[in-house]
Amino acid sequence: MYLFGASGHCKVIIDIIEKCNQFEINAIIDDNPKFKTIFNRLVLKVTDFKFKSEDILFITIGNNFIRKMISKKYPLRYPVLIHPNAILGCNVTIGEGSVVMAGAIINPDVIIGKHCIINSGAIIEHDCFLEDFVHLSPNSALAGNVKISEGTHVGIGACVIQGQVIGKWVTIGAGAVIIKDVPDYAVIVGNPGKIIKYNIENE
């Protein structure tokens, strides 16, 4: 198994892999390595490395857009990683390349897409649907029947009340309280959440 991205996020992923004892990490790959090793694992520059079709890869980068670009560039085998201290209810579906970190709670009938990050202590209540490349930060919370569209980042400690639809590539600020639907590309902060700008031109 190889990890792509030599960062702090990589350290957390290594810890999960070691605790699960499911894979052996061969090396860490990075576009611009700042370290020679992380936790005694060799860090290689991507230009000095060639993947094989049978390789197993996990993208250890927090930025949602970059994870999407790397996953498209390298169509390899991507596992699902779940910390042993996470709690998963029945009928939970998790897509390839996604990670569920320590203390996260995912309740029944939740669907999580590919290459998502469910960070430490995040809570996802029943019947939520997360599309691909979503990142729920530590201690964020989704009430029941919430939809989070592709590429959205929910900041640390933010929460979304039940039944809301959050658009694609939205940024929800730390501690924000979302009480109504959010359009695509919005940047929203505060309690209650207010849109302050758009990441790119709203479609």
Active site residues: 126
> What DSSP designation does 70 have?
H
CA distances from 57 to 48, 70, 147, 193 (A): 16, 10, 28, 37
Cβ(88)–Cβ(109) below 8 Å: no
- Cis preceding linkage at 75, omega within 30: no
Cis ω for the linkage preceding 192 (within 30 of 0)? yes
| Element containing residue 11 per DSSP (H, E) | helix 8-20
65: enclosing H helix or E strand: helix 64-73
